[in-house]
Structure 1
Amino acid sequence: MNGIGRGIEAVIFNSRWLAAPFIFGLIVGLAGLLYKFIVKLAEFVLHLKDAPNSEALVGILSLVDLSLTANLILIVICSSYENFIRPINPADHPNMPNGLIRIGFAVLKQKLLGSIVAITAVHVLEWFMDIDHTANTATLAWLVGVMIAFAVVMLIVATADRVSDSGANKDH
């Protein structure tokens, strides 16, 4: 390979570092979500004594929703770093959870879609639990429809990945 080709290859290969600011942006977003979680937790604890059971459940579901979203962001941060910036050596990080390293694209798609379905399900449940205060059945129907759509997409993607994996295994 000539010098021009190597130079072009180096520019292309090193352009992966342009994704690093996006990852840092997600880290800032995760910190902002932590702030929202702490505020929501404080509100929840302060109002828990006088809150009816349905409002307590909605408060808990709100916390679960924020936690699932934080987990989703963390998965994206770690997998993006490892897949596009630099590989992570598990030996250098013995306490790192296995679910944050060695995440291939197929597994990432399934984790992302699974998290989105779970977050959507929590929203639907949260809405349903608070239906006495917001009796808008059209909105609830849309929420359920979106959740079902995400679940169907997740099943289609998982099936496609399984079919492509079994096809790839037959070729080898």
Structure 2
Amino acid sequence: MEKLIEQTMYRSRWLLAPIYLGLSLAVVALAIMFFKETFHLLAHIFTIKEADMVLVVLSLIDIAMVGGLLVMVMMSGYENFVSQLDIGDDEEKLNWLGKMDSSSLKAKIAASIVAISSIHLLKIFMAVERTDDTKLMWYVIIHLTFVLSAFLMGYLDKLTKH
């Protein structure tokens, strides 16, 4: 009975595979959104104000960073929790693939969230005249919470490794 329970638990890790595959659909959705925004920007390139163009470009950077985060979570999560990726020797392999354990993945996710939050906060600062003070204060507090959380996670991880 114990053997059956252990085998079932071990094999249940494959239930994560469709979830990681679903993240690839989210990457497709981000790519569609990215190119939609790019085409919209190019269509209005001669009439758009500089500040508005900077906001659109920051949105594109934001989308690219979220996409990178999704790929990192999808591939590292699959390798760490489901199975190693079978990539042939003749295929290009990402240099971080197979080297990122769950602890380093967690640190990279936290750093990515801080970077994404920074870009979002910069977008808000670029349009500060359209943002009321209370909302601005909460955006800054939330961003600082992300920064502090990432710092504390890194610090605790460093403490537990020693």
Aligned to 2:137: 141
Q: Does 1:165 align with 2:146?
A: no
Shift of 1:8: 2.2
Q: Which runs of 5+ in 1 are unaligned?
A: 167-172
The code of the aligned residue for 1:153 comes to S
**What SS does structure 2 have at the residue aligned with 1:8?**
helix
**What SS does structure 2 have at the residue aligned with 1:99?**
coil
For 1:21-60, list aligned pairs within 5 A: 21-60=18-57
For 1:70-149, list aligned pairs within 5 A: 70-88=67-85, 92=89, 95-132=92-129, 134-149=130-145
For residues 109-151 of structure 1, give each alpha carbon's deviation from its aligned partner in whole angstroms, at most 9, with x where no partner exists.
111011101111101101111223x232222211111111100
**What SS does structure 2 have at the residue aligned with 1:103?**
coil
Farther off after superposition, 93-102 or 9-18: 93-102
Shift of 1:93: 6.8
The code of the aligned residue for 2:45 comes to L
Shift of 1:12: 1.2
**What SS does structure 1 have at the residue aligned with 2:93?**
coil
The code of the aligned residue for 1:103 comes to M
Quick check: 1:82–1:102 contact (8 Å CA) kept in 2?
Answer: no
What is the percent sequence identity of the aligned residues? 27
Q: Which runs of 5+ in 2 are unaligned?
A: none
Quick check: 1:120–1:143 contact (8 Å CA) kept in 2?
Answer: no
Q: Tell me the TM-score normalized by structure 1.
A: 0.87
**What SS does structure 1 have at the residue aligned with 2:44?**
helix
Shift of 1:50: 1.4
Q: Tell me the TM-score normalized by structure 2.
A: 0.92
Q: 1:97 to 1:163 in 2, by over 3 A?
A: same
Equivalent residue pairs, number: 162
